[in-house]
A = this chain, B = another copy of it.
Amino acid sequence: MNWAKLLMTDCAAHLRPVNYSDYVENYMPNSIIDSLTKIVGAKSVLNAAAEMAPFLSDWHDRYHGKAHAVVLPATTDEVSQVMAFAESENIVVVPQGGNTGFMGGATPDATGNTILLSLRRMNTIRDIDVQNMSMTVEAGCILQNLHDITEEKGLYFPLNLAAKGSCTIGGNLGTNAGGLNVVRYGSARQLTLGLEVVLMGGKVIDLLGGLRKDNTGYDLKNLFIGSEGTLGIITAATLRLFPLPVARSTAFAEVRDVEAAVTLLHRLQAASGGTVEAFELIPADILHVLFDKFPNIPQPLKTRGAMNVLMEIASTNPASGNVDATGSLPLNQIIEDVLASAFEDGLVIDATIATSDAQRQSLWDVRENAPESHKLSGNVARSDVSLSQSDLAPFYAEMVAGIKEIDPTIWICGYGHLGDGNLHFNLVEGPNSNSDFNEKVPHLYELLYRNVAKYNGSISAEHGIGQTKRDQLASVKSPEIMDTMRAIKTALDPKNLMNPGKIL
Report A236 CB to chain B, min CB distance, Å.
15
Residues of B within 8 Å of A275, CB to CB, are 273-274
Q: Are B387 and A211 in contact (CB under 8 A)?
A: yes
Residues of B within 8 Å of A319, CB to CB, are 271, 337
A169 within 8 A of B: no
A219-B225 CB under 8 A given contacts A274-B243, A390-B132:
yes
Residues of B within 8 Å of A457, CB to CB, are 211
- In the bound complex, CA of A480 to CA of B220 (Å): 12
Residues of B within 8 Å of A373, CB to CB, are none
Within 8 A of B (CB), among A119-161: 129-134
- In the bound complex, CA of A196 to CA of B389 (Å): 21
Q: Are B226 and A219 in contact (CB under 8 A)?
A: yes
A401 within 8 A of B: no
A458-B422 CB under 8 A given contacts A223-B223, A273-B316, A317-B273:
no
Residues of B within 8 Å of A422, CB to CB, are 212-213
A439 within 8 A of B: no
Bitwise, A266-302 to B at CB < 8 A (1) or not (0) is 1001111111000000000000000000000000000
Residues of B within 8 Å of A263, CB to CB, are 131
Within 8 A of B (CB), among A435-470: 456-465, 469
- In the bound complex, CA of A224 to CA of B211 (Å): 20
Residues of B within 8 Å of A203, CB to CB, are 480, 483
**Among B129, B132, B218, B469, which residue has its beta carbon within 8 angstroms of that of A488?**
B218
Q: Are B216 and A477 in contact (CB under 8 A)?
A: yes
Q: Are B421 and A461 in contact (CB under 8 A)?
A: no
Report A344 CB to chain B, min CB distance, Å.
15
Spot the interface stretch: A36-44, A67-75, A182-190, A358-366. Answer: A182-190
Q: Are B217 and A477 in contact (CB under 8 A)?
A: yes
Bitwise, A371-409 to B at CB < 8 A (1) or not (0) is 000000000000000111111000000000000000000
Q: Are B480 and A216 in contact (CB under 8 A)?
A: no
Interface size of A by Cβ–Cβ distance < 8 Å?
98
Q: For A129, A134, A389, A460, which residue has the most chain B Cβ atoms within 10 angstroms?
A: A389
A420 within 8 A of B: yes
Within 8 A of B (CB), among A317-345: 317-320, 325-326, 334, 337
Q: Are A389 and B492 in contact (CB under 8 A)?
A: no
Residues of B within 8 Å of A460, CB to CB, are 214-216
Residues of B within 8 Å of A213, CB to CB, are 178, 182, 187, 386, 417, 420-422, 458, 461-462
Report A225 CB to chain B, min CB distance, Å.
7
Q: Are B459 and A388 in contact (CB under 8 A)?
A: no
Report A280 CB to chain B, min CB distance, Å.
14
Q: Are A243 and B226 in contact (CB under 8 A)?
A: no
A473 within 8 A of B: yes
Q: Are B266 and A133 in contact (CB under 8 A)?
A: yes
CB closest chain-B residue, reference A204: B480
Q: Are A459 and B216 in contact (CB under 8 A)?
A: yes
A315 within 8 A of B: yes
A28 within 8 A of B: no
**Among B274, B326, B481, B489, which residue has its beta carbon within 8 angstroms of that of A242?**
B274
A34 within 8 A of B: no
A134-B217 CB under 8 A given contacts A211-B458, A270-B316, A274-B274:
no
Residues of B within 8 Å of A48, CB to CB, are none
Q: Are B218 and A243 in contact (CB under 8 A)?
A: no
A176 within 8 A of B: yes
- In the bound complex, CA of A334 to CA of B330 (Å): 14
A503 within 8 A of B: yes
- In the bound complex, CA of A214 to CA of B334 (Å): 31
- In the bound complex, CA of A427 to CA of B190 (Å): 34
Report A450 CB to chain B, min CB distance, Å.
17
CB closest chain-B residue, reference A216: B460
Report A181 CB to chain B, min CB distance, Å.
12
Q: Are B219 and A317 in contact (CB under 8 A)?
A: no
Can you name 10 extra interface pairs (CB under 8 A) apart from A132-B390, A217-B465, A243-B270?
A: A129-B388, A131-B389, A178-B215, A205-B480, A209-B456, A213-B386, A216-B460, A218-B223, A222-B222, A272-B273
**Interface pairs (16), CB distance under 8 Å:** A131-B262, A199-B480, A204-B480, A209-B388, A211-B386, A211-B388, A213-B421, A213-B462, A214-B460, A215-B465, A218-B223, A219-B227, A220-B484, A223-B223, A270-B316, A274-B275
